[in-house]
């Protein structure tokens, strides 16, 4: 059975049991910012324009000196998919005595989607902020503990500073089959808060499509 119908009534969205569980019973949600939360904070997005995510971490070293995420609290302004994605991410980051920081830095939206059992195609964009907010909070940890050389900047040239989408993110989306602006937005959320960047995004999509089509033709020659 379909769980949700689109507003137009012509599209049905199916949600996995994991998505529904994390939406109806979100884990590690910070209901009140006055409540105790970790000292390291990261934020991505803008609540004034669309989905926004804020996370608070606590990071401690274990007996072997490995830095682990021991607490992950969050607040998300967004839809059911965004809430479920953030909730699942908080579980992934803190389970098994806490995820090592180096491992957390390599988390991708696909990792969250896999644990959720997938999302409807129109809702995949709701999962792409989590890994960026997590990296922002880890960077805050590096900054506050004097480890500035470990700060990880988003690779590539920044195209959308609100959602922290770079030209490399757009290139990866095109490589994964996103051949239209709508598809790239679904995968990256670029321009959903600040549409002024969309003309440049469209130019990049055309550039990367031509680039990889030429490479394909060259290799096939």
Looking at the annotation, which residues are catalytic?
49, 126
Cβ neighbors of 107 (< 8 A, separation 6 or more) are 89, 92, 93, 130, 131, 134
Cα–Cα distance for residue pair 95/104, rounded to 1 Å: 12
Strand partners, 189: none
**Which helix H or strand E contains 12, and what residues bound it?**
strand 12-13
Is there a contact between 56 and 74 (Cβ–Cβ < 8 Å)?
yes
Strands 165-166 and 12-13: unpaired
Strand partners, 40: 57
DSSP code, position 44: E
Q: 72-104 as b/e, with b when 16 or more CB fall inside 10 Å?
A: bbbbbebbbbbbbbbbbbbebbbeeebbebeeb
Beta strands in 50-168, from DSSP E residues, in sequence order: 52-61, 67-77, 158-160, 165-166
């Amino acid at each position: 059975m379909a769980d949700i119908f689109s507003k137009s009534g012509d599209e049905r969205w199916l949600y996995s049991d994991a998505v529904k569980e994390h939406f109806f019973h979100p884990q590690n949600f910070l209901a009140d910012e006055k409540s105790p939360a970790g000292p390291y904070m990261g934020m991505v997005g803008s609540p004034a324009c669309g989905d926004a995510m804020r996370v608070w971490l606590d990071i401690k070293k274990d007996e072997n000196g490995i830095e682990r995420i021991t607490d992950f609290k969050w607040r998300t302004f967004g839809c059911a998919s965004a809430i479920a994605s953030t909730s699942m991410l908080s579980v992934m980051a803190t389970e098994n005595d806490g995820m090592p920081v180096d491992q957390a830095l390599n988390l991708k939206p696909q990792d969250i989607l896999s644990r959720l059992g997938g999302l409807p195609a129109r809702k995949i964009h709701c999962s792409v902020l989590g890994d960026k907010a997590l990296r922002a909070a880890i960077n805050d940890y590096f900054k506050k503990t004097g480890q500035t050389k470990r700060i990880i900047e988003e690779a590539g040239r920044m195209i959308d500073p609100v959602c922290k989408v770079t030209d490399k993110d757009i290139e990866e989306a095109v490589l994964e089959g996103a051949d239209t602006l709508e598809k790239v937005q679904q995968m990256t959320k670029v321009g959903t808060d600040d549409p002024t960047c969309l003309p440049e995004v469209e130019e990049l999509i055309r550039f990367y499509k031509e680039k990889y089509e030429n490479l394909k033709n060259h290799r096939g020659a």
